[in-house]
Amino acid sequence: MAIKDHLKVFSEVGGYLGAGVFTPQGEMIEGSTEISGIHFETAGSMIHDLLLNAQKMAESSGFGKSDMIQVDTEMGMILCKCFNDGKKHFHTILVIKKDGNVAMAKINLKKVVELLKPEF
């Protein structure tokens, strides 16, 4: 199954705006290109950098390993999850409306990351 087919699971999330899968370098592999006038490929690469900074902060402060961030904005919520087992490494980003279903978004984000593993 193609990566874009796995991302279709997110359309079931209440308030879904868009999603994408990115390389560890911040380049979009597959996903939405426009979300309400936002160029998602550019935003996704910046979100990727935010995830890396959060991971460094968590480890250096003694909190341990971080693999997910949540950013609340005026437009909505951005969830970014990292998968890195030493062989496969990718980041999955999901954006939902401010009043979207956060619990379902997180459940589906974990589900999609599991489904994506064989694609890498």
pLDDT digits (tens, 9 = 90+) for 29-78: 998 866 767 777 788 788 888 888 998 999 999 998 888 999 998 888 99
Q: Are 66 and 52 in contact (CB under 8 A)?
A: no
1 pLDDT above the threshold of 90: no
- Residue reference for tokens 């062989």: 87
In order, the DSSP letters of 18-70 are: EEEEE-TTS-EEEE-SEETTEEHHHHHHHHHHHHHHHHHHHHHTTS----EEE
**pTM, to two decimals:** 0.87
User: Domain 3-119 falls in which CATH fold?
Assistant: Beta-Lactamase (3.30.450)
Phi/psi of residue 104, each to 5°? -65, -35
91 pLDDT above the threshold of 90: yes
Confidence of residue 14 (pLDDT cuts 50, 70, 90): very high
Distance CA 20, CA 24 (A): 13
Q: Where are the domains of the chain?
A: 3-119
Share of the chain above pLDDT 90, in %: 57
Regarding predicted confidence, which is higher, 38 or 104?
104
- Among 117, 116, 109, CA closest to 18: 109
